Each structure stands twice: as C-alpha cells, then as structure tokens.
C-alpha cells in the first residue's frame, strides 16, 4: 500500500487506515500525513517533504505564469553571463595593450 498523501510505501501492519462517512479509504504512513491532508487541507504537491516520497507520481503542473517567470529568470542569467564574458574580454585586451 502507498500513503494517500505523500506516496511512500507502507509496510504491512503499519500505518493508519482512515475511512470517511462516504466509504472512501485513505491510507497514511504516519500522523503527520493524516493531519496535513485531513485537518489542515494541504496538497502534497506543494510540500517538498511530501513530494520526496512520491517518486513516479506526477507533481503539480506549472502554471503559465510560473513558466514565464522561469523563462525570464533564465534570460536574465544568460544576459549576466554574456556581460561578464564581455568584461573579462575587455580586461584581457587592456592588459595586452599595457604590455606593448
């Protein structure tokens, strides 16, 4: 069995079985997962520690806004790297000119 919240494997005879009034079953590996899901209403995809056990399970999909933000961050990093390379090239040219 796997935990309904974090996806970790539950050993036989371990964990918590929670049955809702409508008959749906939830398996939890510990009280932390049960509390986070049922009492606090958290989503496993938003918690780093819960995603760690969910190997092979898809994490939450990135929104268009977050993808655009990531692309802008990558472009900014690339621009910084280019500027740094240009400065270092200019310094090497200056050093060669001073030697002559």
Please state the domain extents for the chain.
1-60, 62-100
| Digitized pLDDT (tens) for each residue of the chain, 100 residues in all | 889 998 888 999 999 999 999 999 999 999 999 999 999 998 888 888 887 655 545 555 556 777 788 888 989 999 999 999 999 998 888 888 887 6
pLDDT of residue 82: 93
Q: Which tokens is 17 given?
A: 């079985």
Q: What is the CATH number of domain 1-60?
A: 2.30.170.20
For residue 68, how many other CB atoms are within 10 A of its CB? Answer: 11
Q: What are phi and psi of 19, to 5 degrees?
A: -115, 125
Measured in residues, the chain has a length of 100
Among candidates 8, 34, 3, 40, which has minimal Cα distance to 20?
34
């Amino acid at each position: 069995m796997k935990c309904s919240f974090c996806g970790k494997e539950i050993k036989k005879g371990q964990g918590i079985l929670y049955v809702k009034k409508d008959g749906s079953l939830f398996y939890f590996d510990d009280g932390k997962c049960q509390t986070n899901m049922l009492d606090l209403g958290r989503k496993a995809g938003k918690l780093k520690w819960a995603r760690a056990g969910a190997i092979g399970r898809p994490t939450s999909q990135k929104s268009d806004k977050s993808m655009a933000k990531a692309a802008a961050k990558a472009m900014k990093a690339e621009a910084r790297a280019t500027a740094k390379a240009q400065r270092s090239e200019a310094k090497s040219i200056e050093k060669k000119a001073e030697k002559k």
